[in-house]
Amino acid sequence: MRVGLIGAGRIGVFHARTLVDHPEVSEVLVTDPLTERADAVAADVGARVVADPDSMIGKIDAMVIAAGTDAHAPMMHLAAEAGIPVFCEKPIAVDLPTTNAVVEHIAHAGIPAQIGFQRRFDAGYRKAKDLVDNGTLGHLYSVRTTTHDYEPPPPGYVDMGIFVDTQIHDFDIVRFVTGQEAVEVYASGLMTTVAAFGDDRPVETGVVILSLSDGTQALMSGIRHSPVGHDVRMELFGTGDSVSVGLEPSLPLRSVEPAGVPVVEPTPKTFLDRFAPAYRVEIERFLDVAQGKATSPCTPEDAREALRIAIASNISRAEHRPVRLEEIK
């Protein structure tokens, strides 16, 4: 397979290495608006640089989009027009009209498409889903999710807000693990300037209560600064068992109990530290999808549902009220 990689930033570099290491990938073509980044990636992994995404058409069998969010929808349209299987990092777009146009175009073109919600490929989350699916947990009373970044985004980062940019992963993984849909959202949050980071790197928090289709409540915490490390967890409480995802020795959370277990260093500091294996598996799975060996494990429609919850959360925070998902058409 020949694969085109659009975007040579941090996640693009990671995907490039996964692609060139795959036995069924014969060539990787890479492009980035910053040509020096594309050149660096190509030199690092042995890829070939092309001038722009259009230059890839006719030369690739699949496309991986790891560019900035504003490029996601146009590049997915490009893939659909060319009939090329496409993988795209989340989100497709930050608004529903643009997202809907992409979903419809992909469906009309009939191409395989996978969206990058990497937690679906993490071993802990997949085990939790198995326990829900096989009935071990019984009826779910409550679900809790935690997504706390080690540091706020870097200066100049185009921040889409904590619900769309960060907790959208929680919205997707709750749907995936529980098999339920969100029916109502109540959200709150604040923005704080911290001297250590400066005025251009505010710390945002988000708290969401998500009501699911069978009555289960999901309680979600998002914070842009967790001083011990990148903290991503999920807890599920049911009639049959209570389990946790992310409860590991390196969990960046200190116990103050006298017999508390100390944190094992190093703790994860970035999403790649926490989810490197999952990122590899999702790209490997996409290559199977692109070759017709598997169906998409995270469809554009899945991405749209996560975005609907994020939009409902923004409305709820702004208007100080619960928002029914049926309001988000």
240 and 149 Cβ atoms separated by less than 8 Å? no
b/e sequence 115-138, b meaning 16+ C-beta within 10 Å: bbbbbbbbebbbebbebbeeeebe
Strand partners, 211: 184, 217
Topology annotation, domain 120-275+308-324:
Dihydrodipicolinate Reductase; domain 2 (3.30.360)
CA–CA separation, 18 and 180 (whole Å):
32
Give the per-residue pLDDT at 155. 85
Supply the pTM of this predicted model: 0.97
91 and 164 Cβ atoms separated by less than 8 Å? yes
Strands (E), 26-82: 27-31, 48-49, 62-65
Question: Under 8 Å CB-to-CB from 259, ≥6 apart: which residues?
Answer: none
Chosen CATH of 2-111 out of 3.40.50.720, 1.20.58.760, 3.30.470.30, 3.30.420.40: 3.40.50.720
CA–CA separation, 29 and 38 (whole Å):
9
Give the per-residue pLDDT at 44. 94
Burial classification of residue 316, based on how many CB atoms lie within 10 Å of its CB (0-12 exposed, 13-18 middle, 19 or more buried): buried
Give the per-residue pLDDT at 9. 94
Extents of the domains making up the chain = 2-111, 120-275+308-324
CA–CA separation, 37 and 186 (whole Å):
41
Give the per-residue pLDDT at 158. 80
CB atoms near residue 199 (< 10 Å): 9
Residue 233 dihedral angles phi and psi, to the nearest 5°: -145, 165
Running along the chain, 329 residues long, what does each successive block of 10 average in pLDDT?
97 98 98 96 96 97 97 98 98 97 98 98 98 98 98 87 96 98 98 92 96 97 97 98 97 95 95 97 98 98 98 98 97
Token output for 324 = 């029914």
Token output for 236 = 């599920």
CA–CA separation, 106 and 92 (whole Å):
12
Give the per-residue pLDDT at 245. 98
Q: Provide the greatest CA pair distance for the chain.
A: 64
Give the per-residue pLDDT at 30. 98
Give the per-residue pLDDT at 5. 98
In 83-199, which ranges are continuous DSSP H helix?
96-109, 123-133, 162-165, 168-178
Give the per-residue pLDDT at 140. 97
Give the per-residue pLDDT at 250. 96
In 83-144, which ranges are continuous DSSP H helix?
96-109, 123-133
Please count the residues of the chain: 329
